[in-house]
Structure 1
Amino acid sequence: MPPIRIALGVEYAGDAFEGWQTQPHGRTVQDVLEAAVCVIAQAPIHLVCAGRTDTGVHATTQVAHFDTAAVRPPEAWVRGVNSHLPRGVSVLWSQTVAADFHARFSAESRHYRYLLLNRRVRPALLAGRVGWLHDGLDVEAMTAAADCLVGEHDFTSFRAAECQAKSPVRTVYRVAVGRVGDLVVFDFHANAFLHHMIRNLVGALVMVGRGRKPVAWMADVLAARNRSVAAPTFAPDGLYLCGVEYPPRWPLPGGGRIIVPPQLPLG
């Protein structure tokens, strides 16, 4: 009997782990999730995710898949696995998929959201879950600066030096910046993202929002294709992987799509 391929929807608090990808010390999301799934499968398994997140980066909807010979009811891959997971990570759903489904390579696009607390006093209850900046921010200026990012571009100016992507070209479908009380929300939707790309984009947009750079500077940085001319990388605390989109033929709950963090209590 050929192995069964199972897709999982996973949420996690990134400040509880040292990123997604497995490490020798075992303090990553992949490490604890694989260990929990192995208990239910009663055999070793290997998880493949839609997008590897860095230390401190959260996910409301990460999608992963694994192959197994174990026949289990769908709930076993959810509640059963969750009973063996530490706080900070939970499986939301499981779905049997065809053998040609791939959590990463079948994905058409990804959604990320950055939550930035913009007030004079640093966060306490939301520490590690939002970025923080005490300076005032001009949301209209950041929105105007973000317009140049939409479309297919070479994002070399916004990729990490250690980025292993073969090409710096990505297609951005949408960038939106808005304010909800003390919270400034950045939404990004693209076919894929480079290493640190979103945190570098937020850092540049914040430079514009603080009035330290003009709106037109953003387009100049993009065109320069030079990381050294851009802003420093912003903190990971407020970054969330919020959904992965797949072609409709894959029967994933919600299509794997856009589940965003709930409005956080700030008042």
Structure 2
Amino acid sequence: MTRIVLGLEYAGDAFCGWQSQAHGRTVQDVLEAALSRIAAERVRLHCAGRTDAGVHASAQVVHFDTRAQRPTSAWVRGVNALLPGAVVVRWATEVGDDFHARFLATERRYRYILHNAPTRPAMLAGRVGWFHLPLDEARMAQAIDGLLGWHDFSSFRAAGCQSKTPVRLMHEASVRRQGDYLLFDFRANGFLHHMIRNLVGALVYVGKGRYPVAWMRELLEARDRTRAAPTFAPDGLYLCGVSYPPRWPLPNDGRIIALPQLPLV
């Protein structure tokens, strides 16, 4: 058996999420179907991070095992020829069977792009979030600093989250404005289900002045999801980086980053 790693990009608004479902088209479904045709056998994928419906990826990492012997180009150009336009394989490489896309990832990086203007976006509909009232990015930047380090993120965890622990190490958390857009960047050893969307929702409450900067710290200490803001829309969320120990032949020595660059950002 040979283990192959792929780097993916996809537009999440075209799919019902990553994970295979009996009732909807998912990224896993269409990619496994294409890979199975190239391999002439059933292929099962394992991903670095399972994205929800509407969530995008500019740097998803997956692996699969196969008995098929194919040139690397077959796993890129050949597979892409069988995929819908909203998903593409960017690169492929062979690794040892000790590699695992999910369990050996040391960090993941997400970016949320928020359009902050009185009217909703049209050209970028589904690719950016939107909030119509003015937001104070300086207040949000103060609040987001308190997320750095080890914390129990129970207040930002979906009710159906299956993680064994709500504790995560946040390496980077920042927000900055570019024109009518706010860019939220998060990098951690892992994320809980809906964690980023719940964090953005709370930061928007701070940015519009509903709560003080200290509220983010209060939410962390409360460890109570019912006290936080509603889950924000998935539209502007991108999985844009995964890091691995540098012992496999992966791009950039295992630091796989592709920050989404949209036309107006």
Could you say which TM-score interval applies, normalised by the shorter chain?
Answer: over 0.9
Q: Secondary structure at the match of 2:9?
A: strand
Alignment of 1:35-50 (within 5 A): 35-50=33-48
Q: Is the 8 A contact 1:199 1:233 kept in 2?
A: yes
| Aligned mates of 1:176, 1:250 — CA distance in 2 | 30
| Aligned mates of 1:264, 1:150 — CA distance in 2 | 30
What is the number of equivalent residue pairs in this alignment?
264
What letter is aligned with 1:187? D
Partner of 1:249: 247
- The alpha-carbon distance between structure 1 residues 247 and 253, as it changes in their structure 2 partners (threshold 3 A), is same
Question: 1:228 aligned to 2:232?
Answer: no
Partner of 2:165: 167
Partner of 1:110: 108
Q: Secondary structure at the match of 1:149?
A: coil
What letter is aligned with 1:222? L
What letter is aligned with 2:38? I
- The alpha-carbon distance between structure 1 residues 256 and 39, as it changes in their structure 2 partners (threshold 3 A), is farther
What letter is aligned with 2:259? V
Q: Secondary structure at the match of 2:155?
A: helix
Q: Secondary structure at the match of 1:141?
A: helix
Partner of 2:257: 258
Q: Is the 8 A contact 1:155 1:170 kept in 2?
A: yes
Partner of 1:202: 200
What letter is aligned with 1:248? P
Q: Secondary structure at the match of 1:257?
A: strand
Q: Is the 8 A contact 1:63 1:256 kept in 2?
A: no
Q: Secondary structure at the match of 1:78?
A: helix
Alignment of 1:8-47 (within 5 A): 8-47=6-45
Deviations 1:181-223 (A, max 9, x none): 1110000000000000000000000100001100001100010
Give, in angstroms, the shift of residue 265 of structure 1: 2.3
Partner of 1:182: 180
Partner of 1:94: 92
Give, in angstroms, the shift of residue 249 of structure 1: 1.1
| Aligned mates of 1:125, 1:169 — CA distance in 2 | 38
| Aligned mates of 2:8, 2:94 — CA distance in 1 | 15
Any stretches of 5+ residues in structure 2 without a counterpart?
Answer: none
| Aligned mates of 1:182, 1:214 — CA distance in 2 | 23
| Aligned mates of 2:248, 2:142 — CA distance in 1 | 36
Give, in angstroms, the shift of residue 263 of structure 1: 3.9
Alignment of 1:131-150 (within 5 A): 131-150=129-148
What letter is aligned with 1:137? L
Partner of 1:54: 52
| Aligned mates of 1:251, 1:180 — CA distance in 2 | 36
| Aligned mates of 2:98, 2:149 — CA distance in 1 | 29
Runs of 4+ in 1 over 2 A off after TM superposition: 263-266
| Aligned mates of 1:141, 1:117 — CA distance in 2 | 17
Report percent identity of matched pairs: 64
What letter is aligned with 1:247? P
Any stretches of 5+ residues in structure 1 without a counterpart?
Answer: none
